[in-house]
């Protein structure tokens, strides 16, 4: 199947990147543009000291911004909205001007590379970018929509290393009743891109904008601005918005009003009950989920571009063995689809230690899962999707 990306970043490049050998951090491109979909992970810097990221649960919330700039991804007559990285940069710049900003991993990454395309091992894992194999995973889910949609009705999905979260967004939009948990190494990634993407495809969807919102999206809109403040005033004042706001000396919502509007918008649909966001390293997450008694609680686990480093295989495998649900006693054509893990990856990561072959060998040596290749891209730079199931 084919996808059309309209990220408006460069003439020939989508805001899509693919995980390369450890190198020095590259200089920022003078024009600030994203690279086109590439054949190697752009950079994995080893100049930082890795510190294990602690487990955090982050409640879904609407970002404290007046608007969100989003791009469209069209596929099979459907559309997903994805926040522009330029909009993330603008939000961080505003926060810096007001409060000096935190010296977070994401801020460091964007200070050294405005497109945040570099992976800093153990510090920042590239979550602001859309990685190539996540598109493969989205495509795979769409192709198997009929079977998976029925199998996952009312079930639980975990996306490990979600970043922009395209596979999760598709599930949330097309599989009602399915609960989705999205995990990323960095809390900032979840708050700056993952949550805004979820909101842009649900409660803040441009397609659902009111008639008074002059920036609402038509069916063929490729990029637009979601006027979040307009939505807030509509929620609070409805048809009286112009009268209320127009009579103020400062025609803006107070912080309290904005918080109230955000709470009402989130209460207006069930998205908050269908989403969970967790940040931290895989070992920390496994430890905490076991402490909470949440072993074997996810029917489908998704992950992409996460096996490029053999040093991470143990923590990833241990997390998969912790979270994947056990098979039901009775089997039929639907529950044969789950429980399962889908791993999307490049067959070879040049200059790095990981590959599809080394991961399959590791999984085989552990003796916990069966592993099969269920999709291959072909070509000179092949990519694959692996399916792991309990032995």
Could you please report the per-residue DSSP string of 362-386? HHHHHTSEEEEEEEE--SSS-EEEE
- Collapsed DSSP state (helix, strand, coil) of residue 278: strand
The pLDDT score that the predictor gives to residue 336 is 72
Report how far residue 7's alpha carbon sits from residue 160's, in angstroms, rounded to the nearest whole number.
24
> What would the DSSP string read from start to end of 170-201?
HHHHHSTT-EEEEEES-HHHIIIIIHHHHHHT
Residue 177 CB burial class (10 angstroms; 0-12, 13-18, ≥19)? exposed
**What is this structure's pTM?**
0.84
Which pLDDT score is estimated for 9? Answer: 35
- At residue 118, the pLDDT reads 67
Instruction: Give the pLDDT confidence score for residue 154 in this predicted structure.
Output: 86
pLDDT of 181 = 98
Helix H or strand E encompassing 322? helix 313-323
Q: How far apart are CA 315 and CA 317, in angstroms?
A: 6
Cβ atoms of 132 and 154 within 8 Å: the answer is no
* Torsional sign, CA 259, 177, 189, 30: negative
pLDDT by 10-residue block (mean), the chain, 391 residues: 39 44 33 36 43 85 95 85 93 73 67 66 83 93 86 92 96 92 96 96 76 54 90 90 81 90 91 95 97 97 97 98 90 71 97 97 98 94 97 96
d(CA 353, CA 390): 26
């Amino acid at each position: 199947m084919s996808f059309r990306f309209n990220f408006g970043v460069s003439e020939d490049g989508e805001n899509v990147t693919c995980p390369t050998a450890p190198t020095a951090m590259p200089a920022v491109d003078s024009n600030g543009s994203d690279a086109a979909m590439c054949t190697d992970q752009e950079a994995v810097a080893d100049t930082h000291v890795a510190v294990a990221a602690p487990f955090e649960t982050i409640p879904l919330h609407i970002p404290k911004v007046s608007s969100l700039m989003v791009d469209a991804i069209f596929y099979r007559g459907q559309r997903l909205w994805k926040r522009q990285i330029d909009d993330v940069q603008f939000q961080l710049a505003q926060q810096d001007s007001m409060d000096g900003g935190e010296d977070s991993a994401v801020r460091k990454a964007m200070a050294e590379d405005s497109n945040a395309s570099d992976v800093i091992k153990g510090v920042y894992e590239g979550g602001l970018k859309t990685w190539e194999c996540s598109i493969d995973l989205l495509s795979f889910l769409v192709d198997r929509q009929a079977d998976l949609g029925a199998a996952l009705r009312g079930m639980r999905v975990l996306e490990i290393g979600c970043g922009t979260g395209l596979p999760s967004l598709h599930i949330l939009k097309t599989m009602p009743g399915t609960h989705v948990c999205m995990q990323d190494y960095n809390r900032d990634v979840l708050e700056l891109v993952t949550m805004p993407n979820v909101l842009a495809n649900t409660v803040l969807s441009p397609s659902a904008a009111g008639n008074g919102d002059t920036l609402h999206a038509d069916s063929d809109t490729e990029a637009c601005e979601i006027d979040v403040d307009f939505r807030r005033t509509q929620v609070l004042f409805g048809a009286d918005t112009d009268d209320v706001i127009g009579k103020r000396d400062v025609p803006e919502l107070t912080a309290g009003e904005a918080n109230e509007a955000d709470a009402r918008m989130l209460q207006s649909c069930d998205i908050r009950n269908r989403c969970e966001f967790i940040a931290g390293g895989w070992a920390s997450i496994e430890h905490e989920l076991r402490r909470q008694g949440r072993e074997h609680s996810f029917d489908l686990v998704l992950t992409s571009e996460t096996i490029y480093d053999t040093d991470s295989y143990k923590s990833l495998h241990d997390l998969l063995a912790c979270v994947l649900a056990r098979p039901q006693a009775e089997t039929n054509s639907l529950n044969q689809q789950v429980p399962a893990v889908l791993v999307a990856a490049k067959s070879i990561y040049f200059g790095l230690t990981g590959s599809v072959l080394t991961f399959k060998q590791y999984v085989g040596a552990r003796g916990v899962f069966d592993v099969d290749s269920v999709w291959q891209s072909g070509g000179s730079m092949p990519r694959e999707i692996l399916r792991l199931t309990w032995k």
